[in-house]
Amino acid sequence: MVRHFLRDDDLSVAEQRTVLELTATLRADRLARRPLAGPRAVAVIFDKPTLRTQVSFVTGIAELGGFPLTVDGNLAQIGVRESISDVAHVLGPQVAAIVWRTGAQTRIEQMAAAVDVPVVNALTDEFHPCQVLADLATVAQHRGGVDALPGLTFAYVGDGANNMAHSYLLGGATAGMHVRIGCPAGYVPDAQVLADAATIAATTGGSVSVLHERDATLAGADVVATDTWVSMGREEEAAARETPFVPFRLDEEGLALAAPDALVLHCLPAYRGKEITAGVLDGPQSVVWDEAENRLHAQKALLTFLLEGA
């Protein structure tokens, strides 16, 4: 049966581990796996801005032996010029997989329902699961391997209702982490996603919690993360978000509350002086450039898993 990766919990605990281990293998030997040899094409579609995602998927698909077929969503106008299922029927027979960055999660669900090739979520309004695979791979890289992940405390401060918060909840719980989301009261995670993450955490020894105080969120954490206060598509809310989000900024005082060797993650792009200070983003505990590079390795591992199994 064709496998998709539409949200973090589309990978079981064992499958996530397999993908993270393969990520490390491919980091050490970039051309070790060639599931797209031919070259077979993978459609990489962007309905929203991108830098890291385009670079890492295009590079990664080429390194897997394939042909990265970038589609500009502004030209294709999927769902406007023609229906999602009509697009799926055009793409499905021609490509080995479809990678899509779009808005509503229901859009990528519709695409997946209409094709028999893997569909990969390259960010939706609700989830950013490829980023969280890269983030988990980065923590494993800096903590001696995948075995180090279970039991770590992962603290995210910022927009609890955005794609990163949701993916940290699901992906972090799958990895057996204690995931804390620190966010303003009006910007909390989706209740169903939180419940799903709690269900996963109950099987992995992890936990999930939502707090409304930055310092309590960060206290003693092994990994700290934040993200823009204004996700793509919400630009008109920027001014209104400033006041509630300032208390959740990741700054030097906040980082000092975490474990002394805590790792700092940010999916980027970062806004220095907004959600994170320059001193933290560019400081010695930051691993954001490894995190960005791990998009490449993690997505290659994911595509290999989806196309070939382990």
Residues that bind ligand NVA (CB under 6 A): 123, 128, 162-164, 227-228, 231-232, 267
For ligand NVA, the closer of residues 60 and 176 by Cβ is 60
Q: How many CB atoms lie within 10 A of CB 256?
A: 10
Per the annotation, the verdict on 282 as an active-site residue is no
For ligand NVA, the closer of residues 86 and 237 by Cβ is 237
Element holding 169 (H helix, E strand)? helix 163-174
Per the annotation, the verdict on 295 as an active-site residue is yes
Per the annotation, the verdict on 214 as an active-site residue is no
Reported in sequence order, the residue ranges of the chain that DSSP labels E, i.e. its strands, are 41-46, 67-72, 97-101, 119-121, 153-157, 178-182, 207-211, 223-226, 263-266
* Residue of 8, 47, 267, 297 marked active site: 267
Question: CB of residue 232 vs ligand NVA: minimum separation in angstroms?
Answer: 4
Alpha-carbon distance of 110 to 125, in angstroms, equals 15
Under 8 Å between Cβ of 61 and 67: yes
For ligand NVA, the closer of residues 259 and 267 by Cβ is 267
Question: CB of residue 290 vs ligand NVA: minimum separation in angstroms?
Answer: 16
* Residue of 4, 17, 40, 128 marked active site: 128
* Residue of 227, 241, 249, 297 marked active site: 227
The residue at minimum Cβ distance from ligand NVA is 231
Per the annotation, the verdict on 215 as an active-site residue is no
Question: CB of residue 235 vs ligand NVA: minimum separation in angstroms?
Answer: 10
Per the annotation, the verdict on 267 as an active-site residue is yes
Under 8 Å between Cβ of 149 and 172: no
Per the annotation, the verdict on 249 as an active-site residue is no
Under 8 Å between Cβ of 293 and 254: no
Question: CB of residue 159 vs ligand NVA: minimum separation in angstroms?
Answer: 7
For ligand NVA, the closer of residues 66 and 158 by Cβ is 158
CA distances in angstroms from 234 to 26, 103, 159, 237, 239, listed in the order given: 36, 11, 12, 6, 11
Q: Which residues contact 240 (CB under 8 A, 6 or more apart)?
A: none
Question: CB of residue 166 vs ligand NVA: minimum separation in angstroms?
Answer: 10
For ligand NVA, the closer of residues 153 and 163 by Cβ is 163
> Which residues are known catalytic residues?
101, 128, 131, 227, 267, 295
